[in-house]
Amino acid sequence: MYKIIERRMIVPNLHEFTVLAPAVAETVKAGQFVIVRPDPLGERIPLSVADWDREAGTVTSIFMQVGSSTAKLARLKPGDSIPTYVGPLGKETVIDRFGAVLCVGGCYGIGSVFPVARALKEAGNRVITILEARSSFLLYWEDRFKKISDDVKIITRDGTRGRKGHISLIPEMMQRAGIVPDLVIVNGCTFQMMRVSMVTKPLGWRTIVNMNPIMIDGTGMCGVCRLSVGGKTKFACVDGPDFDGHEIDWPEFLARRKSYNPEEVDPLRRSSCRSHF
Amino acid sequence: MAEEKPEKKKLDLTRRAMPKQNPWERIKNFDEVALGYPVQAAVEEASRCIKCKKPLCNQGCPVGIDIPGFIKCIVEGDFASGVRKIKETNALPAICGRVCPQEEQCEKTCLLSNKGAPVAIGRLERFLADWEAAEGKIEVPPMAGKTGKKVAIVGAGPAGITVANDLIILGHEVTIFEALHECGGVLIYGIPEFRLPKAIVNREVEYVKRLGVKIVTDFVVGKTRTVDRLLQEFDALFVGSGAGLPWFMEIPGENLNGVYSANEYLTRVNLMKGFRFPEYDTPVKRPCRVAVVGGGNVAMDSARTAVRLGAEEVHLVYRRSKAELPARVEEVENAEEEGVIFDLLTLPVRLIGDRNGWIKEMECLRMELGEPDASGRRKPIPVEGSNFRVPFDAVVIAIGNSPNPLIPMTTPGLEISKKGGIVTNPETALTSRPNIWAGGDIVRGAATVISAMGDGRIAAACMHKYLVNK
């Protein structure tokens, strides 16, 4: 059993989730994920890693409450335990001295792009962080990004913070700032990663995305996390989760992500709130 | 029962049938299909053994069980001694008695198989194991004194459990690292409940734990710790990390929704208990028309699982003819009894989806058999222009898998074959590194439970020699 150190809603519907898992904390790196099972009847779901404390043996993720499994996680309190917390899985994000790197985060990806930005900064890169949210009240960790970035830019859909608009404003914003990035790294929802890849492709900006498919074992056995990259089938759990965003078959990936949507929310309808549906 | 005319006076050529659940009942549940011999049938079946002076049956067994020995015990009604006899060489008799391909091994070399009625060795092995469990008195074998040597085992599947069992009895300290949250490997995630009840797997795992084997679950060697990191703490290491990425046919449409690898399909149902959704959270689709592509035991398991999940029609699509089906005859018969439709000499060439990305149809070619190929089987050749389409709302691809890539990817100096498996010396199971052994699917690709156990047995013997001389 793995003890919950912290589980709190940091902005509406997004939860910071810290678990005591010394074996994972000792070796985890930016870009990797863990597989979590909330209770003995629960499913195995992947969560990207957002931070860790090697000495304390803790690992932190940000997750969004969507379906029944994340609802179970969202009900956990510090001191509770969960039966499965295994990792670190997947390959780490490649960290090198690239030059100017755009780190783009949205939703739960704001959390997971944080250690990537931090490692890139430590490796001597010029790190420009771009955080996108629908509204200012959905932004978090801005202060943490400021400490490790050369610049932090904000985009909100409703204009309540930073630039008003959408993630596809990135090229224009970079042009204004006079920056031509050597690399773009995106952690966020599928749609955001797709949009960024679409706008950077014509510019030839190399774009790495941290993919988030359905997984079961997460160790290269079941094959559910497969996606087409450059016309070839790859497995996100062992070949990724980082891939070249310009090579991904996005429509196929979006369809596969949705394959269990009805079942994801079905158990919620059977909860005590049945009368609400 | 049909009486065959015996050649000699005492030669009994009637294999005692094992009771099974009726097909029309069992397709509605996930309970075990074969129910096991009652005592009388077991004793009668055992009495058919002609007690050869030079028995060949045990030579057909990958772990060398003293088969005539345990059969004699059954004849004499001394079941406890029979169990002890088996456990001298086999840690998992309840499992092997159920899933070993005996017709290819011990029963094939039984002299009575020339007469078409070999002694049902597998069923007798199962009988003894189940008898012991029912008695509730599971004996612990004599244990050697502690050697102080530490062994790490990667994977709690059939290979790893065999190594653990053998080495703990010899006095070594054994720790198994398992990636999943439950032990048993393919016995838990792959082989369905109706063929191998999970309670039996758990019982065998509890047994090795009782012997003193430590098991760490949720620990992915190659990720949580590398092999080399573990070797700083352990004197020797065995890799039994099993099956890896599923193979696909590399035809268009294989990433459509509703197309599963057999590994995914079976893992959802067996390990994650998807058939009990929504009591369990992991969902599995319950489509009406299912195609399973492949002809091995995993294909049969997938097809029979689809039947139990309520599919109206389940087709098994195989490119050769019935004679070439690699699955056990028993499993093919079970699938037929349960209404699985065999589309033989049929090759899928394209999967066609609807506008939302879900599988809708499968396009196939008819095949005919040509000259024997490298595998000795007649090569299937497509009949030109024979394309046809069949509607399906799920397709399960069960054409095999490669060895798990995690340890080959993260362990320097380990010789890897072209197919991605770890290369070992077949006589010792030793890899290209002096303190790492390997066996089972990580070496062979997709093979059988018993061959994994055979590898484990060989590895354990060699590891023991290494450890005592170290």
Residues 238-277 of A with CB under 8 A from B: 238, 249, 251-252, 255-256, 258-260, 263-264, 266-267, 270
Mapping DSSP to helix (H, G, I), strand (E, B) and coil, where does residue B254 land? coil
DSSP codes joined into one string, B63-129? T---HHHHHHHHHTT-HHHHHHHHHTT-S-HHHHHHHS-GGGTHHHHSGGGGGT----HHHHHHHHH
Domains of chain A by range and CATH?
Answer: 2-89 (2.40.30.10), 100-257 (3.40.50.80)
Most B CBs within 10 A among A24, A29, A211, A222, hence the mutation to make, goes to A222
Question: Whose CA is closest to B71, among B89, B62, B83?
Answer: B83
How far does the CA of residue A176 sit from the closest CA of chain B (Å)?
A: 40
Determine the number of helices (DSSP H) and then strands (DSSP E) in chain B: 17, 16
How far does the CA of residue B65 sit from the closest CA of chain A (Å)?
A: 31
Chain B within 8 Å of A221 (Cβ-Cβ)?
A: yes
Distances (CA, A) of B27 to B36, B272, B391: 19, 20, 23
CB-based burial, B354-388: b 16+ in 10 Å, e otherwise? eeebbbbbbbbbbbebeeeeeeeebebebeeeeee
Q: Do B263 and A226 touch (CB under 8 A)?
A: no
Contacts of A222 in chain B (CB under 8 A): 246, 261, 263-264, 267
Q: Do A251 and B279 touch (CB under 8 A)?
A: no
Question: Whose CA is closest to A117, among A109, A108, A127?
Answer: A127
Search chain A and give the residue with CA nearest B280: A41
Contacts of B248 in chain A (CB under 8 A): 223, 233
Report residue A119 as tokens.
């490692």
Task: Find the helix or strand (DSSP H, E) in which B159 lies.
Answer: helix B158-169
- The vertex-A76 CA angle with B182 and A60, nearest 5°, equals 80
Q: Do A221 and B404 touch (CB under 8 A)?
A: yes
Report residue B170 as tokens.
């010899």
Domains of chain B by range and CATH?
Answer: 23-135 (1.10.1060.10), 150-244+402-469 (3.50.50.60), 248-399 (3.50.50.60)
Q: Encode chain B (470 residues) as per-residue pLDDT tens digits.
A: 455 554 555 688 889 999 999 999 999 999 999 999 999 999 999 999 988 888 989 888 888 899 999 999 999 999 999 999 998 888 889 998 998 888 888 998 898 888 889 999 999 999 999 999 898 877 788 888 999 999 999 999 999 999 999 999 999 999 999 999 999 999 999 999 999 999 999 998 999 999 999 999 999 999 999 999 999 999 999 999 998 889 999 999 999 999 999 999 999 999 999 998 888 889 898 999 999 999 999 999 999 999 999 999 999 999 999 989 999 988 999 999 999 999 999 999 999 999 989 999 999 999 999 888 888 888 899 999 999 999 999 999 999 998 999 999 999 999 999 988 999 999 999 999 999 999 999 998 878 888 898 899 999 999 999 999 98
Mapping DSSP to helix (H, G, I), strand (E, B) and coil, where does residue B161 land? helix
Report residue A135 as tokens.
């509204």
Q: Do A226 and B357 touch (CB under 8 A)?
A: no
Distance CA A29, CA B48 (A): 63
A226 in the Ramachandran plot: left (φ > 0), alpha (ψ -120 to 50) or beta? beta
Residues contacting residue B59 through CB under 8 Å, at least 6 positions apart: B109
Distance CA B327, CA B300 (A): 7
Chain B within 8 Å of A10 (Cβ-Cβ)?
A: no
Task: Find the helix or strand (DSSP H, E) in which B451 lies.
Answer: helix B449-469
Of B181, B263, B279, the CB nearest to A84: B181
Q: Do A42 and B281 touch (CB under 8 A)?
A: yes
Of B245, B248, B356, the CB nearest to A220: B245
Residues 70-129 of A with CB under 8 A from B: 72, 83-89
**Given CA atoms B357, B362, B365, B371 in this order, what sign does their dihedral have?**
positive
Count A/B contacts: CB-CB distance under 8 Å: 125
